[in-house]
Amino acid sequence: MPELPEVETMCRGIRPIIGRKVQSVRVPKCVCRPIVMRPKIVTIRRRLVGQTIQDVTRLGKRVLIHTADLALVLQPRMTGLVSLGQTPGPDHVRLQIHFAGSPQTQLLFWDRRGLGVVELMRRDEIQTRIVAGRLGPDALDITLEDFSDRLSKTNRPIKVALLDQKLLAGVGNLYASEMLHVSRIHPAKPCSKVSAKKKRHLFEAMQEILLTAIEYEGSTLSDGTYRNALNDPGSYQNQHLVYDRAGLACPSCSSGRIARIVQAQRSTFFCPKCQRT
């Protein structure tokens, strides 16, 4: 589930590791499905131990931990999170990094379903291995002009297009539903048929919702999986207008009922009265 606001919150929460030297890297025993690690943990350990963390950044839905020459890329995917020493439970810790010095600090990558990915690469490989052909502009950096142009070039349903990370990096299922509701666009409407005015409204809704969700430290859903770096829940879930509210009255128009449909194997929530085709 972690999308741009949750991953940005993770990055901000673990930035106390900047300036710290890596003391140890280990993979705790876990009976669950192993996550993907590239290269193998023995190589990651050999290359990272002794390195000093210089920066922590976000790239789409990925956390990047930088040393002078390397980048440790943590991709949470559906149920992963990055924290400082605490997680939703003792199981499912997939990577543990201890840092030298005081106070004692450890970075944990926790993943309940084992769908996450850990990659170590040179910093000069980020563009070719992650960005090129795989990631579009970041949702918080893209211009209105570029956003509109990219949507105009596809006939896919607009909700499906918004989930395409090649088109736009960072937006996922939850926030796409919220953005479309605020801008009053039906999720099944073909992108090429969305007016320029509606695209502008969608762009503005995207910026406002993502930035506000970051202020609220993301959304923690009913499964309780997502937590911030200190193991506290986010609170933007209390601001959701349509997501996971099927059958409830629409908070925007009061007369409609939130509906649920499936698009690209994902649940989409919208108000049929507010968001007409």
- CATH number for 67: 3.20.190.10
* Average pLDDT value for the chain: 95
Please tell me the predicted confidence (pLDDT) of residue 222. Answer: 86
d(CA 38, CA 44): 8
The residue among 131, 161, 190 that closes a domain is 131
Looking up residue 252, the CATH number of its domain turns out to be 1.10.8.50
Other Cβ atoms less than 10 A from the Cβ of 251: the count is: 15
CA dihedral in degrees (32, 36, 38, 40; nearest 10)?
20
Is 261 within a domain? Answer: yes
Give pLDDT tens digits for 182-199: 999 999 999 999 999 999
Q: Are residues 64 and 40 in the same domain?
A: yes
Q: Are residues 157 and 103 in the same domain?
A: no
Residue 24 sits in which domain range?
4-131
Give pLDDT tens digits for 94-137: 999 999 999 999 999 999 889 999 999 999 999 999 999 899 99
d(CA 242, CA 92): 31
Please tell me the predicted confidence (pLDDT) of residue 217. Answer: 96
Looking at 86-90, 175-179, 203-207, 264-268, which range is the least confident one? 86-90
Residue 10 has pLDDT above 90, yes or no: yes
Is 18 within a domain? Answer: yes
Is 138 within a domain? Answer: no
Catalytic positions, written as ranges: 2-3, 61, 266
pLDDT band at 40 (very low <50, low <70, confident <90, very high): very high
Inter-residue contact 74 to 80 (CB < 8 Å) = yes
Q: Are residues 43 and 64 in the same domain?
A: yes
Q: Are residues 91 and 148 in the same domain?
A: no
pTM for the model: 0.95
Is 139 within a domain? Answer: no
Q: Are residues 148 and 126 in the same domain?
A: no
The domain tally of the chain equals: 2
d(CA 62, CA 82): 10
d(CA 199, CA 63): 29
Q: Are residues 126 and 196 in the same domain?
A: no
Q: Are residues 165 and 246 in the same domain?
A: yes
